[in-house]
Structure 1
């Protein structure tokens, strides 16, 4: 029997919410989250516990690992961050946990083989197969979400593969500074570990934002940025003109979730306040309603509050770090923090 793909989302019922894990679950709450990689995964894992309508808008500039290989060989969007977003939205049921683990499963080939599939995530291959069958990235992700019983939708920020570039400042042997332009997400992250990123851009600069993403931001109750790699997961959403305008003009409330480590390889020497200043420099019209930060991370609070005030944001300090994994957001703690922040504006 052959399967006929129509490009329409199949009407597969979603699993019943696990109410004992969702004391703050609001089926009417609509949230759109922007980011990529592990940061967006953390936000979506928390939102799944409190929001009934979730849309993830994902960066598409990755060029490393399995995603980079697939992107280069097949001329498609890098699927890795999209896969992680889908995995985060899998429900906490036997079905959801099984598909979560299956999506994230990576092949490991024999050392004596050529290793064509080595380190490829099965979810990446599944997503690309759906894209090839349907000829449309958004439709392919809808079908993938329906198969998984995902609690929300996953969308690329653009249907055009993007390349991120940046200028990196580094110390010179003679005591001065050197500047060099680095192209590609992996190369930029590597170079940033030896210097400081001073400017980033996307190519093509005029790539269109995904229409469904723009609509999701327009219709949401809340739009959330962060956490995540600041220059390669968070800021790209403010670089495409259509996307930036939608973030800045949406009638939805806007929230930002801060990282748990401010001085990372991408943000060497930057304070949490510097992170906020960078956002404002790339999107001067951006205002926020609330910023969620872990009190153990923000040591210079007056400086941080001043930077938040420039964005017209209220700062909410909440312990959102995992006790078991320092530097990682705990989904339940973050869910409570987001719920409490949302309640402030009801």
Structure 2
């Protein structure tokens, strides 16, 4: 007798279901009157008798018109009833959803059929890109480095023996459906007591990992469900690794923070211990991807730190996906001093062991001399686009104006997302469907990006 619960008061369903049923009856009666079906001859006789009593005579056209009116009114009632029933169900399942029913269904269908995109790296650069990618697909996976040894992540790593959650936290927030509010909560940093310096998000992920029996991947998966994340976030490896770099003076430096603090140039990046096991979930996502995006982020300690795990590197090379590298806009002191875009690409090729890139996105916009002067004092310089050099490596270069309009020379999230989205559309990776609707959805996506940019400003 579970069906009887549908009759409980206050569900806001019975009236609309009744209206739908009434509409169906009226439509059936109308069709009967139009086509003179005999099984409701009694009803037709009553109608004729009524018309006779009013006008003294009747015409077949009158009967047909009355039938057509009933059909129209019935269809109207059915549409109203069905629409309100669906809205009531959606409001119950997805409370607080402000989009219209039409936009909600259309957007969800396009997101589910969107391309399978894997973004590899770490740091804040990765989360910047993910905020744009989630607007065109639900099939997005972030593969994040687990070699961070500084800040709150480093402390949790030493004290609890877990993988550093910082970069994964940033990606989870970026892919969350409740991003603005969730970002404030997950990025909250305690200022006093024993928790001073810790992010609430880092502690939350650590707790979820412990709840799942110490399995970080299961903890991340559970966090994704709680935050309503569009896609997945996986570590590149579940092993406890440290970065190790061979420098140009022949010395070896261990630890991410120590590597960036070294005055010498990095020649080769490695892990300690060697040959860590790759996350199988990350490998599976890479092999199924339509597009793989490397960066943006620190070349050595974010992008290459993820790729030097053998299983991840081999999966990227073997994958049939289109491979796109997003080059940084400024050099990073201690990592890429004196590098142009060409040197960034060469470092990738050297560590990958082959040239497997299809596209490189570079910045061609110049920052103001005043802002650049501040960066020069810290040892940072603009990364030259090197378009011709890169194209000689049989890689298509995508130059674009990508700088943020602020005192910080970094990627503008809106501009970068628009460039990547446009490239994905151009490569016809958007999924199955009519091109006209893809064009409509692209415009809708760009409007959403502009709206988000205005909110941030």
Structure-1-length-normalised TM-score = 0.84
Quote the offset at 1:309 in angstroms: 3.7
Structure 2 residue corresponding to 1:336, chosen from 418, 442, 453: 418
Q: Deviations over 1:90-144 (max 9, x none)?
A: 23xxx432212111110000xxxxx421110010110011111102111111111
Structure 1 unaligned residues grouped into runs of 5+: 1-11, 110-114, 170-177
2: CA distance between counterparts of 1:121 and 1:101?
A: 11
2: CA distance between counterparts of 1:37 and 1:165?
A: 18
Quote the offset at 1:206 in angstroms: 1.5
2: CA distance between counterparts of 1:264 and 1:13?
A: 47
2: CA distance between counterparts of 1:17 and 1:228?
A: 34
1:322 matches 2:404: yes
Structure 2 residue corresponding to 1:130, chosen from 174, 199, 208: 208
Quote the offset at 1:43 in angstroms: 1.7
Structure 2 unaligned residues grouped into runs of 5+: 1-92, 367-381, 429-457
Aligned to 1:216: 285
2: CA distance between counterparts of 1:54 and 1:14?
A: 24
Larger helix proportion of the pair: 2
1:58 matches 2:144: yes
Distance 1:308 1:14, change over 3 A: farther
1: CA distance between counterparts of 2:291 and 2:97?
A: 23
Aligned to 1:261: 330
Would the aligned equivalents of 1:195 and 1:268 in 2 still touch at CA under 8 Å?
no
Would the aligned equivalents of 1:14 and 1:149 in 2 still touch at CA under 8 Å?
no
Distance 1:299 1:117, change over 3 A: closer
Quote the offset at 1:243 in angstroms: 0.8
SS at match of 1:51: coil
Aligned to 1:207: 276
Structure 2 residue corresponding to 1:305, chosen from 388, 391, 396: 388
Aligned to 1:181: 252
Distance 1:16 1:321, change over 3 A: farther
1: CA distance between counterparts of 2:401 and 2:95?
A: 31
Would the aligned equivalents of 2:387 and 2:399 in 1 still touch at CA under 8 Å?
no
Larger strand proportion of the pair: 1
Q: Aligned residues, how many?
A: 312
SS at match of 2:418: helix
Map of 1:242-257 to 2, 5 A cutoff? 242-257=311-326
SS at match of 2:297: coil
2: CA distance between counterparts of 1:98 and 1:128?
A: 21
Structure 2 residue corresponding to 1:42, chosen from 101, 111, 128: 128
Structure scoring higher RCO (CA < 8 A, sep ≥ 6) equals 1
Quote the offset at 1:82 in angstroms: 0.8
Distance 1:334 1:257, change over 3 A: same
1:119 matches 2:197: yes
Quote the offset at 1:77 in angstroms: 0.4
Provide the aligned C-alpha RMSD in A.
Answer: 2.3
SS at match of 1:265: coil
Aligned to 2:187: 104
1:148 matches 2:227: yes
SS at match of 2:353: coil
Distance 1:325 1:216, change over 3 A: farther
Distance 1:159 1:142, change over 3 A: same
Structure 1 residue corresponding to 2:242, chosen from 154, 163, 171: 163
SS at match of 2:251: strand
Structure 1 residue corresponding to 2:218, chosen from 133, 136, 139: 139
Quote the offset at 1:179 in angstroms: 3.6
2: CA distance between counterparts of 1:225 and 1:15?
A: 35
Would the aligned equivalents of 2:237 and 2:276 in 1 still touch at CA under 8 Å?
yes
Q: Deviations over 1:46-92 (max 9, x none)?
A: 2122222110000000000111111011111011111111111123x
2: CA distance between counterparts of 1:48 and 1:273?
A: 29
